[in-house]
Amino acid sequence: MTVHATPPLDGLMVVDLSQFLSGPYCSLRLMDLGARVIKVERPDGGDLSRRLYLSDTEIGGDSTIFHAINRAKESFAVDLKNAEDLGRLRRLIEKADVVIQNFRPGVIERLGLHYEAVKAINPKIVYASITGYGNEGPWVKRPGQDLLAQARSGIMWLNGDETQGPVPFGLAVGDMLAGAALCQGILAALVRRGITGQGSHVETSLLEALVDFQFEVLTTHLNDGRRLPRRSSFRSAHAYLSAPYGVYPTKDGFLAVAMTPIAKLADLLEIAELAPYHDQPSTWFTARDEIKAIIAQRLATETSDHWLSVLEPADIWCAKVLQWPELLDSEAFTVLDMLQTVTREDGVSIETTRSPLRVDGHRPVFTNAAPRIGEHTSRIIEEFGL
């Protein structure tokens, strides 16, 4: 195997004007691929996510989520209401390859840092924008916050059981999906720039990313008479898929069972009550709740490991449902080597995840923790003569 010591985006500079999660997640992925990310923050408080707490844990004065999503970036403190600071930022952008921003529509124009203004000073720039709901329509000025975007996207009606009402995801899925989508667009624009020399404006929104996330089930809805899916009322795991698809309690935990012919599963589990459904695949959906209740009653009689020993050798798609301690202690997770400890000169040390990508067989390694507010301002001003 040929090993390249230089990461693929080495030499590229990203000026990241975004805050919270969506934009910073995008720049994190670019940083993991080798780009230099200069995070622009307010001198008085910095990125608002520094105070966005997921728990009562604080490290070096900042939230764990800020540390997780901003590791190894540089912080450039800029007062956007100060003409001198704004001039420095414009001069920095002149030297950048990528600019990322996730201001509400209209704000970036008032600052004079919208795409056309930036393109005028740096024609080859790849300029990337994330909004809540795009730049037109009645929702433009609504807060582009993850839970609210999930609420408007329809995605909450795919989670949980039918009797539960709308169920949100347990993490900021809209922010992460929008950041990942923007990263894809930036990389494509950089490829085109390498071929044609032309810059680009790449745009997405939380709503667009969440709609795209649903492309399989939404396509079914659009071409199926626009019938709404009905979630299972018992152990639901997918709004459309039939029994046995779901998560079931066992004697000592939970077992996930994916697509499996009922007849085969009934034989392996020795469930005589499933006989009426063996050769009637249509009932696997119409009688979904009844079938799953019968399976659940049987699976609850033995441990998860017992059922795995029965089902896995028969090539039944199933898995034990793990909590984080079990995952982290597993050999399967350990061999992936996805955790790292990053540090800062003021004594901050934090254990966090690593890039999900390997390039030429190697996962990138970083040692620097997320920066203090303005930690690199003086050095950046000196380096670029700002």
Residue 156 Cα distances to 152, 159, 235, 321, 379, angstroms: 9, 6, 16, 22, 46
Task: Identify the residue whose tokens are 């709404």.
Answer: 228
Q: Find the largest Cα–Cα distance for the chain.
A: 79
Structure tokens at 294: 């019968």
Nearest partner of 46 among 88, 80, 3, 96, judged by Cα: 80
* CA–CA separation, 28 and 13 (whole Å): 13
Q: How far apart are CA 383 and CA 202, in angstroms?
A: 28
Fill in the amino acid letter for 353. T
Burial bucket for residue 231 (CB in 10 Å: 0-12, 13-18, 19+) = buried
CA distance 26 to 29: 5
Enzyme catalytic residues: 175
